[in-house]
Structure 1
Amino acid sequence: MAALPSPPLSELQNVAALETLQAYPHPFRIVSPLDVNVFEQLIVSHPNRPLVDSVCRGFREGFWPFAETSSGDFPVSWEEPTGPLDDGTLRFAHDYAVEEEAAGRYSAPFFGDLLPGMYSMPIHAVPKPHSDKMRFINNHSAGKFSLNSMIDKHSVGMRPDNVQDLARNLLHFRSIYGTAPVWLFKSDIANAYRLLPMHPLWQLKQVVTVNDLFCTFMSLLLWIAIHVRHISCLCHGPCWSGNT
């Protein structure tokens, strides 16, 4: 597995964005519940040092999502407008933003026009399956200058574990421990994909307008679980891009 990328030179030399970050540093913090120093100690014997170093750097400086902004005619700032939202959806979006701010994943709100370097993509709310609750959607694929259009789809992707992987693990367990009882545990991390802090230069492009690289990290966590904590036969589920 290759090391995770840092911001490209075009972003590190993006004067407009850098001036915005310098003038308004407080909204663009690196926030994560992970203690990167402890994580780094646990992963010290991992053989792929470039990968490990890139992940640790991401937790300290923010992750960059394989985006390349120099190849397209992207404007300095862009707002892809959200269509009309009904009152219920608007209340849900507002409450969601308040919840995210309280969790440290959104900055405090600000008003006015986008600052240089900022992008804002449309938001939506859709019903969750078999529930009367709503799911908040940041549409990063909308419009000519969408955030997803900056990312080469061939640079990202993964194959989740499946039933065949689980079966191989069960057979492997049986070959070692015979007929010993087997307990299967399925766990989930609440808001998992929002625990990875994004680089401030990418945070600028994730402005959420209301009223107007997790798989790699998980692979290292699994490596720690297997090789450091000696937990065998682990499988992991699929990953999706988040809005950290």
Structure 2
Amino acid sequence: MAPVRPVPSTRPVPWSTQEFEARLRDKGAGYHIHHPFNVRLNSGLCSPAQVRGWIANRFYYQWCIPQKDAAVLANCPDREVRREWMIRLLDHDGQGDFEGDNAGGLEAWTQLALAAGLDRDALWRLDHVQPAVRFACDAYVNFVRHAPWQEAVCSSLTEMFAPQIHKDRLATWPRHYPWIAADGLSYFRSRIPLAQRDVDHGLAVTLAHFTTHEQQLRALDILQFKLDVLWSMLDAIEKAYPQ
């Protein structure tokens, strides 16, 4: 009897860790740093009303970030991951005495809004939030609540592209928008080192979990979804504040 020959596998070979990471990073070509509204914003071409509209609507994204992080914590059974992820929640909601550097990112964004002339009460009532911005941010939070926690972590990897957008704002806003008090830009300064820390953790989880070719394609789709959320927010803001 002739020996039975194994049937060659037709399953796609997964990318190496290096190739997978490179493909994730290539998604930066669709980051909202390239959106026409953001390009105008950082080029000094936006009116005060447009800048304030962007700040007030982006506040809703900041508002949702701690809820997103809490959902990751609620779904994650790994204590070590929870301990590391919890830092993100405290970064945004604040900790300790909630003063100074302990006030958190949500308060830092509030200070940006105040420096730009927005009213705190109206900001925190979410009076300025456009329906499409709310829809996009809520879609992100709902995804994280219902997805496996590793997929939720993967969706956070847009932070890989965030440091440059913060650097651009710090480099151009003082010159283009001198009517915004300089101390209002502290959020952007604080996020540059924190974003890199968060990327290191999120990327390690993603590279370790998404190991088959199908899973790696799924990770790219998840990251694209998050990029679409951020891009859609700017679409809505651009339409709501034409001048």
Q: Give the TM-score normalised by structure 1.
A: 0.25
Q: Give the TM-score normalised by structure 2.
A: 0.25
Kindly indicate whether structure 1 or structure 2 has the higher relative contact order, using CA contacts under 8 Å at least 6 residues apart.
2
Greater strand share, structure number: 1
